[in-house]
Amino acid sequence: MRALLLRDLMLAIRAGGGFGLGLAFFLIVTVLVPFGVGPQTELLSRIAPGILWIGALLACLLSLDRILALDWEDGSLDLLATAPLPMEGIVTIKALAHWITTGLPLVLAAPVLGVLLSLPVPAYQWVVISLAVGTPALSVIGTFGAALTVGLKRGGLLMSLLVLPLYVPTLIFGAEVARRGAEGLTVQTPLLLLAGISFGVIALLPFASAAVLRINLR
Amino acid sequence: MSLWEYANPVKFIRTTDKVLPWVWTLAGLCLVTGLVWGFFFTPNDFRQGSTVKIIYIHVPSALMAINAWLMMLVASLIWIVRRHHVSALAARAAAPVGAVMTVIALATGAFWGQPMWGTWWAWDPRLTSFLILFLFYLGYMALWEAIENDDTAADLTSILCLVGSVFAILSRYAVNFWNQGLHQGATLSLDKEENISDVFWFPLLVCMAGFVLLFIALVFLRTQTEIRARRTRALLAREGQA
């Protein structure tokens, strides 16, 4: 398992295009928003938590097809499937690698981009915490979507259509944590619910992803 | 004699052929009775005026929008466990019907909301979760269309249906948490004191029965079509080989 994780991380970093791309996309989205809604500071600081969350979500979505599609094309997925590692383990590792290469950089970049959007000071820690808790769920759900559409030629758009509705609960609770943090309200309830979604998804969804992947490899 | 006999496509088509005219007739009767009764022979609401009559389409279609997904869930489970093709095809056949019901519920809701709430759309929990349900229908149908191999498509869509159901319920509670709504709570429960008045309730009941029957008829018909289409394709493929 560790070997697979290392391999995926290496590929993501060395093969180019994967690692920095999500981060750059996040940056672009954040830069475009003020052009769209105007540069007023008070308006920006009100919508900043939500923008950061939506930006992170879209950046995650953009990189999903890399989780499995490349391995599917060159046949290494078939090799992995015949390896002694259970399919559930493979998809979990794939999701973990995706989170490390996409989710974690987003979490770390969020405070920097928060400055651009004049995020209120008390909100910084909550944006980071909510993203840190929520992005693993995004990666795991996304792996499910990637597994569903892996065999398709032009699966990208279809995958967005399938994955985005599944992202709704995570987005609602994550953005709620960030918003309440920004307004200085108590964040305990949405934060616990967000963590509940993350843990529940990590525990259960790999089984569905593995089942789907087995069907696709049949 | 067990229920599983209808998993045989020939048997299914033969039986539904016999049943379908009756279901169509009953559905038509219920709908005509319920709608005519509701539109012309019930009083206007003292506050809502005649707009209250939208209820005879709005509520039954919303009911069927949710129950269609439930039916797809059951059919998907049957396909995963027992691998009866008719079941997978029935789930496929139900999806567009359910999606249309969702659109009808949303559209009539908008027509009702405009005079009553002063807005076509509000980010109310019920409205929002219906919109999300519609997105789930879209994704489900798109996945069916995208995959060429029939068995793979049936497998993948049924798993999507299972996962989607969990997430649809999650979204329902999440949006509840996220925003307070304009939409009223349940007023059709059997065990509550403050319910809709009987004058509106009885024609509504007939309308709901009509929508249920209409849904059954449509799903039977569409499943038959799917079975026949697949048979045609199999025949064509055999011809091509010969």
- CB-based burial, B38-56: b 16+ in 10 Å, e otherwise: beeebeeeeeeeebbbbbb
pLDDT value of position A203: 92
Q: Which of B193 and B13 is assigned the larger pLDDT?
A: B13
| pLDDT value, residue B185 | 63
Answer whether A218 touches B (CB < 8 Å): yes
Which pair of structure tokens corresponds to residue B160?
Answer: 């999507």
Q: Which of A160-164, B145-149, B189-193 shows the lowest mean pLDDT across its residues? A: B189-193
Closest alpha carbon within chain A to B178: A172
Nearest chain A residue to B148, by CA: A152
Instruction: Give residue B104's pLDDT.
Output: 93
What percentage of chain A reaches a pLDDT higher than 90?
21
In whole angstroms, give the CA distance from residue A146 to residue A90: 13
Q: Does A64 touch chain B (CB under 8 A)?
A: no
What is the reported pLDDT for B31?
92
Which residue bears the tokens 């569903």?
A: A148
Looking at residue B188, what is its pLDDT?
Answer: 61
CB A107, CB A131: distance < 8 Å: yes
CB contact under 8 A, B156 and A173: no
Q: What is the pLDDT of residue B212?
A: 93
**Nearest CA-CA distance, residue A38 and chain B, Å:** 24
Q: Sort B157 into a burial class: Cβ within 10 Å, 0-12 / 13-18 / 19+.
A: buried
Q: Place A114 in a pLDDT band, splitting at 50, 70 and 90.
A: confident
Average pLDDT value over all residues in chain B = 85
Cα B159 from Cα B65, distance rounded (Å): 20
Q: Output the pLDDT for position A6.
A: 77
Question: B175 and chain A: CB distance < 8 Å anywhere?
Answer: yes
Backbone torsions φ then ψ of B7, nearest 5 degrees? -70, -15
Confidence of residue A118 (pLDDT cuts 50, 70, 90): confident
Place of tokens 């199999």: B234
Judging contacts by C-beta atoms under 8 Å, the chain A residues touching residue B175 are: 168, 172
Verify whether the Cβ–Cβ distance A173 to B163 is below 8 Å. no
Q: How far is A164 from chain B (nearest CA, A)?
A: 9
Cβ(A153)–Cβ(B117) under 8 Å? Answer: no
Q: Say what percent of chain B tops pLDDT 90.
A: 33
Single out the residue of A145, A53, A151, A55 nearest to residue A91, CA to CA.
Answer: A145
Whether B77 contacts chain A with CB within 8 A: no
- Residue A17: pLDDT band with limits 50, 70, 90: low
* Position A185 confidence tier, pLDDT thresholds 50, 70, 90: confident
Q: How many helices (H) and strands (E) does chain B have?
A: 6, 0
What average pLDDT score do residues A141-146 get?
Answer: 92
Tell me if B208 sits within 8 A of B60, measured CB to CB: yes
Q: Give the residue from A122, A136, A145 showing the smallest Cα distance to A195.
A: A136
B169 at A interface, C-beta within 8 A: no
pLDDT at A36 over 80: yes
| Domain spans in chain A, listed from the N-terminal domain onward | 2-217
Answer whether A216 touches B (CB < 8 Å): yes
What is the per-residue pLDDT for B193? Answer: 54
- State the pLDDT at residue A218: 80
| Contact status, residue A104 vs residue A96, Cβ threshold 8 Å | no
Q: Is any Cβ of chain B less than 8 angstroms from the Cβ of A215? A: yes
Cβ-Cβ pairs closer than 8 A, A with B, add up to: 74
CA angle B123, B124, B129 (to 5 degrees): 95
Is A197's CB within 8 Å of B136's CB? no
Residues in chain A: 218
Report DSSP state, residue B193.
Answer: S
Q: Which of A34, A67, A31 is nearest to A141 (CA)?
A: A67
From CA B154, how far away is CA B80, in angstroms rounded? 9
- Report pLDDT for A49: 87
Residue B191 has pLDDT above 60, yes or no: no
Banded model confidence at residue A139, pLDDT cuts 50, 70, 90: very high
* Residue A28, min C-alpha distance to chain B (Å): 27
Looking at the complex, does the CB of residue A165 fall below 8 Å from at least one CB of chain B? yes
A212·B156 Cβ contact <8 A = yes
Q: pLDDT by residue (tens digit) across B67-93?
A: 999 999 999 999 989 888 888 999 999
Q: Who has greater pLDDT, B107 or B174?
A: B107
Residues of A in contact with B88 (CB under 8 A): none
Name the residue with higher pLDDT: A149 or B42. A149
pLDDT of residue A97: 87
The model's pTM: 0.86
Question: What distance in Å separates residue B176's CA from the closest CA in chain A?
Answer: 10
Residue A88 has pLDDT above 70, yes or no: yes
Query: What value does the mean pLDDT take over residues B200-205?
Result: 84
Q: Taking CB atoms and an 8 Å cutoff, what residues of chain A touch B132?
A: 165, 168
Q: Distance from B40 to chain A by nearest Cα, in Å? A: 41
Contacts of A212 in chain B (CB under 8 A): 155-156, 159
Instruction: State both tokens at A74.
Output: 């060159």
Residue whose tokens read 């908008």: B110
The pLDDT value recorded for residue A188 is 85
Mean pLDDT of chain A: 86
Return the HEC string of A47-82.
Answer: HHHHHHHHHHHHHHHHCCHHHHHHHHHCCHHHHHHH
3-state secondary structure (DSSP) of residue B49: strand
Q: Specify the 3-state DSSP secondary structure of B152.
A: helix
Q: Is the pLDDT of residue B171 over 90?
A: no
Helix or strand or coil: residue B120? Answer: coil
* Nearest CB partner across the interface for A208, out of B138, B152, B159: B159
pLDDT at B113: 83
- For residue B124, what pLDDT is reported? 80
Q: Answer whether residue A150 shows pLDDT above 80.
A: yes
The pLDDT assigned to B1 comes to 53
Identity of the residue numbered A205: L
